[in-house]
Structure 1
């Protein structure tokens, strides 16, 4: 017998309530074989009656009704005649005189069908639970097809007390005048949330109708499940996958496998369903999919593990394709019960995003640069190979897993974020209390000690970080950052971006940053004996006070040692180098470099390889003790010669006094000019050091 259903105040549920349900969840089902079961009990006529075939009956039982029994308190038992739910085919029916509704809506759309709810005011009590399908239109109701979802699932939903999700509906109960059941919220009015709406996707034009080619859900979807559970309760018992369950899918056929049992191929091999799991520790195993995956285990969320198998919800219609927002939609919790949650997930080799839920999750990514967020609960995160970002979330016992040994790993901690570098890649980890390496398990305190303590850390944006009087480490990461070390022996790493780095007082280590995105850094080493690697980009470095070691890195750099006895290397490309005051060691590196040693006894180094270019020394002065230092210790004095010639003034960049020739120091075995000394002809000596021996090339 029917009983009324009140509104809940939840629009996701109320948008599907007809207003009536069966008073018992234990229903009988029949497939009448004789039309007289209808015509002799209230129907005016049934045109071209035909019973369901065994295939049709098996489809509705095995997938439709059994699916209902998995997630709800409904149960179904077969009877020969007069079941609560009856299924049959015809071309037209008339429910009888004085009834609101008259028959299959013929001529209707492709595959017209209808069902009668348990509403005594709709078409009469003799029609309640009756499902009618147009003869010949529902002969192949396979998973994910129009015939299956928009036919069998949809009509059974009506027979159980669900209305159309796309419409508002006035109650027909005279005892409740003015009662209106609303439509679904516009953002949920789609097949992704309910098989009861005519809108296959959000915003679909209902005037187009259904093409019949659309790719549909396999199951009742998120809001359907919630509405039916509101009426009939939820099921966490036997038959609900209540034990530990593993879910797999086939990339070729779309077939779902549950603990090794396959449910067969789907329509067009597309995947769109809601999975209700009654308990146990469960696993979504998507490791056989290589595309980028977005997996979200939270209630009501969607997951995409196979972009190629997303259902096209507008297939066969004019206009652009409208793909489902995921392959799987998670049901909402029933009365806060956590047993329906999926605990664990494993993905493939793509760049994946994995999000956990309220319980303890094991989020396991394969290769690729993955993002893992455990959420609430004590979670286990495994990024696998690649540069991964892992956040344990709100739990107090989260653990990060690594394949590598701790002995093969380095780590830094900055702003609460660990940067862990291992053979697996470079991972950023936060919100984790345990770090499980192949050879050792570290607590958070032990990992902090291993990383050398916490340091101020940057973000992907433009940061301003300031150290203390102690020994700090400042990491800018991405963005155009400003890092100031202040006192102490600091380590500054600008990362990607155009950064300004100032070591301040103390013996500092300053790193400009690697990669093509590091365009230009400006570095002030500060006082102290500093070590500077400008890194990639066209950088500007000021050594300032102290005996500094400066490397220009990969770019066209301007390097100034300034005060102190500095060691300066131009590295790649053609650099501009100033030694400044002090006895400096200057190596132009690759490229044709312009070098000014400044005051003091400077050494101008050339490795001796032809690929390192010719260096223009603008202020060679033998009287100050300047020396040319050749890197090939097996060379001899006889292998060098000095030629003199004028060069173009070039606005003073290369030539000095127009009346004084330049000196070109040539290494005869290669014929290459090693050094070009501006105004070198004015020198009384040109001293060359090979190994420990010093030769005057003008003697």
Structure 2
């Protein structure tokens, strides 16, 4: 490790801001040189390439790295994410290459993340801290089986933004904060990726998590606010007069940070409606969607735009639909375009142009358009002939009285608590008195109009009418986004057999009894109905859900899953090789026929699931399951229950889950080098070739070689099989890895050369002899228990046994059967 490179290691505690949008995202620490937030700071980052593999696995034992996952395109996309953060904060990022010590933020892919997630987590990241592995991001190749570049708009790009957010100190919106554990899970109002990429929910108010069909291109409103609270604001970004024109964009889901200038947001030329709000810290919506809309229903003319807190956009342009344009406290220029539009300038001296159509101009506060020329709003194209109207219904005519009093129209005669106008050669000015002194408290200028009537006004809330919607969002048409696996398409409506053959980036017909009843685009998750359905996937990763009939499923390309998670019976299946078919049986009865399926998700029963010669993912779920991987590099996860896992040939990943789980290598003749590490990934090295990874395994069965079985967990049951086996127990007084534990050896045989190794105890643990006379300090002694021996180990020097080993069918031992520390 190069001494010339110093890794940035200082993380400081952060205090709450008092703003929910910010505090709901703060985990508790941030990177800092002196503990003070919002200062310029340079951070380095590195990708886990071969030059950094050794130091990374040294820092975190048990990592199974997959460098091939980090494609050149993904590197470029992640660099773009860092550049995006530089745009709105005072952080700067530099990639560290060339070996030695890697950058502060370490980005890689590991098939052994901290949890045995397999399909449950796309990635994992560490918060800022002072340890070596803090600030690291680990993608899960089991979850992201298709290698993509993570381009903006894809699920992988959202995942990368989310995890990098963690590395900088942002938590999930729904999690407690280390700052205040009671107050800062976010309220439902903000719990959506529309406000923060740290949320799990695609839409406001929804209970569903995941299933994102549309994903943000940038960090969103609350993300920017929280990161700026930690790392300051970049006030040099886009200080000129910028035009944010979405007319040519096919995808809008982003937040703008703009530090200055006279700027414009435009939906000009689009045929769908825009709902644009220029207030800093708000969302704008296009195409009739809002925060409660399912993003899966968006089409190319829909989307969400955030305007960051402290970003001031001056101008907005609508399109050809029925638009809603709202300004902010500055001097705004709002132009509606075609359609029946609603324009509201709010504070400042605003200029409003409705364009063609019957437009409504709205004022909700007398302070929004003052009586003097310099603070007065101007409407440039008010047209009674086009049925334009001025909406003053929210103005209180008499602020001195309780309740809301509507203004009355007094034509051209000033009267108390009324509204009147004065004409001139170029137009007219509308005035209002709300104090009862007939003085002008409010005014609006209308250019090109010389007369006004009551029909042109809305003075009473009873006369307020809604703008009619246009172009409702199509619920069965979904745009394609690279890497996104969409929501499940369910066929439970069908009155007969369903046939679906998924296309690639093109409409797919849904047939019922051979007749087309619907058309879908890019649904990669399918569920049949009550009949015998035929469901065929495409070259992406597809998930098929078990349904009522005897279905025929063909996954085609990609890594495809068959999900029996809702089945209550016993599932038995052996996946066939080479595109051949296999039959799934449930409770002894034929259920489905599968072809080109690589992954099986079991149900609640005692399942028997066997893979093929490919790389399989087998999940047992509840029940006492038997999972066998076969050849290939497989991932097996038992789930709840007492499961039995056998990876077979290949480099396998075997996770037991809850229950008392068994891994068997009984058929192996090569020597095994085993580490059992409980809920941290351990390893099995097989001869000089294969290497498997283990998680949450309580029972280990070895083969006939001379095996070394090392235990670093609280309980274990070991079978060494034939050969000279070594049973090694590792731990320390501080980690407590084995202290208080209870272990078993099923077949200890001193005549074959078996040994118990206590030489690797460390940090305050010491066993230096075998006691024939019973309990002794720093010793091991045996107590008969029927046909077995119960070994007691005292390693801390206090005459109290610290852990125990039961040797089954063993009558005697001697000091030569042990290796001492």
1:119 correspondence with 2:129: yes
Deviation at 1:141, TM superposition (A): 1.6
**In 1: Cα distance, 2:137 partner to 2:234 partner:** 25
Match of 2:59, SS?
Answer: coil
Q: Equivalent residue for 1:278?
A: 259
| Structure 1 unpaired stretches of 5+ | 94-102, 172-177, 255-268, 334-339, 421-425, 438-446, 464-476, 480-699
Deviation at 1:279, TM superposition (A): 1.0
Question: Which residue of 240, 243, 262 maps to 1:243?
Answer: 240
Question: Which residue of 17, 20, 27 maps to 1:18?
Answer: 27
Residue 232 to residue 105, structure 1, CA distance change in 2 (3 Å):
farther
Question: Which residue of 134, 159, 164 maps to 2:167?
Answer: 159
Q: Equivalent residue for 1:188?
A: 190
Q: Equivalent residue for 1:384?
A: 355
Q: Equivalent residue for 1:89?
A: 109
Match of 2:67, SS?
Answer: coil
1:56 correspondence with 2:74: yes
1:70 correspondence with 2:80: no
Deviation larger for 324-333 or 80-89? 324-333
CA contact (8 A) 1:400 1:432 kept: no
Deviation at 1:246, TM superposition (A): 0.7
Q: Equivalent residue for 2:745?
A: none
**In 2: Cα distance, 1:291 partner to 1:329 partner:** 18
CA contact (8 A) 1:343 1:360 kept: yes
Match of 2:74, SS?
Answer: helix
CA contact (8 A) 1:354 1:363 kept: yes
CA contact (8 A) 1:397 1:434 kept: yes
Q: Equivalent residue for 2:788?
A: none
**In 2: Cα distance, 1:7 partner to 1:49 partner:** 38
Match of 2:308, SS?
Answer: coil
Residue 19 to residue 462, structure 1, CA distance change in 2 (3 Å):
closer
Query: 1:256-299, CA deviations, whole angstroms, 9 ceiling, x for partnerless residues?
Result: xxxxxxxxxxxxx4x22111111111111211112232211112
**In 2: Cα distance, 1:273 partner to 1:210 partner:** 19
Deviation larger for 74-83 or 52-61? 74-83
Residue 313 to residue 403, structure 1, CA distance change in 2 (3 Å):
closer
Deviation at 1:369, TM superposition (A): 2.3
**In 2: Cα distance, 1:245 partner to 1:73 partner:** 21
**In 2: Cα distance, 1:418 partner to 1:154 partner:** 55
Deviation at 1:305, TM superposition (A): 2.7
Q: Equivalent residue for 1:399?
A: 378
**In 2: Cα distance, 1:12 partner to 1:324 partner:** 29
**In 2: Cα distance, 1:360 partner to 1:326 partner:** 26
1:234 correspondence with 2:237: no
CA contact (8 A) 1:217 1:272 kept: yes
**In 1: Cα distance, 2:307 partner to 2:461 partner:** 38
Calculate the TM-score normalised by the size of structure 1: 0.50
CA contact (8 A) 2:72 2:149 kept: no
Deviation at 1:343, TM superposition (A): 0.6
Deviation at 1:53, TM superposition (A): 1.7
CA contact (8 A) 1:373 1:390 kept: yes
**In 2: Cα distance, 1:19 partner to 1:363 partner:** 42
Query: 1:184-224, CA deviations, whole angstroms, 9 ceiling, x for partnerless residues?
Result: 11211111111112122234335xx523x531111111111
Deviation at 1:162, TM superposition (A): 0.3
Higher RCO, 1 vs 2 (CA within 8 Å, ≥6 residues apart) = 2
Residue 332 to residue 343, structure 1, CA distance change in 2 (3 Å):
same
Query: Equivalences for 1:447-462 in 2 at 5 Å?
Result: 450-451=450-451, 459=458, 461=460
**In 2: Cα distance, 1:413 partner to 1:323 partner:** 48
Residue 383 to residue 418, structure 1, CA distance change in 2 (3 Å):
farther
Query: 1:161-186, CA deviations, whole angstroms, 9 ceiling, x for partnerless residues?
Result: 00111121446xxxxxx855621112
Residue 10 to residue 302, structure 1, CA distance change in 2 (3 Å):
same
| Structure 2 unpaired stretches of 5+ | 1-9, 34-40, 391-408, 412-417, 433-441, 466-821
Question: Which residue of 148, 157, 162 maps to 1:139?
Answer: 148
Query: 1:530-577, CA deviations, whole angstroms, 9 ceiling, x for partnerless residues?
Result: xxxxxxxxxxxxxxxxxxxxxxxxxxxxxxxxxxxxxxxxxxxxxxxx
Match of 1:55, SS?
Answer: helix
CA contact (8 A) 1:306 1:327 kept: no
**In 1: Cα distance, 2:125 partner to 2:111 partner:** 14
Deviation at 1:32, TM superposition (A): 2.8
Deviation at 1:13, TM superposition (A): 1.1
Question: Which residue of 306, 309, 327 maps to 1:332?
Answer: 309
Deviation at 1:387, TM superposition (A): 2.5
Q: Equivalent residue for 1:129?
A: 135
Rg bigger for which structure?
1
Q: Equivalent residue for 1:307?
A: 288
Query: Equivalences for 1:262-277 in 2 at 5 Å?
Result: 269=251, 271-277=252-258
Query: 1:104-125, CA deviations, whole angstroms, 9 ceiling, x for partnerless residues?
Result: 542242x6201111034xxxx1
Deviation at 1:160, TM superposition (A): 0.3
Give the length in aligned residue pairs: 395
**In 1: Cα distance, 2:444 partner to 2:56 partner:** 71
Deviation at 1:374, TM superposition (A): 0.7
CA contact (8 A) 1:283 1:346 kept: yes
**In 2: Cα distance, 1:189 partner to 1:382 partner:** 36
Q: Equivalent residue for 1:287?
A: 268
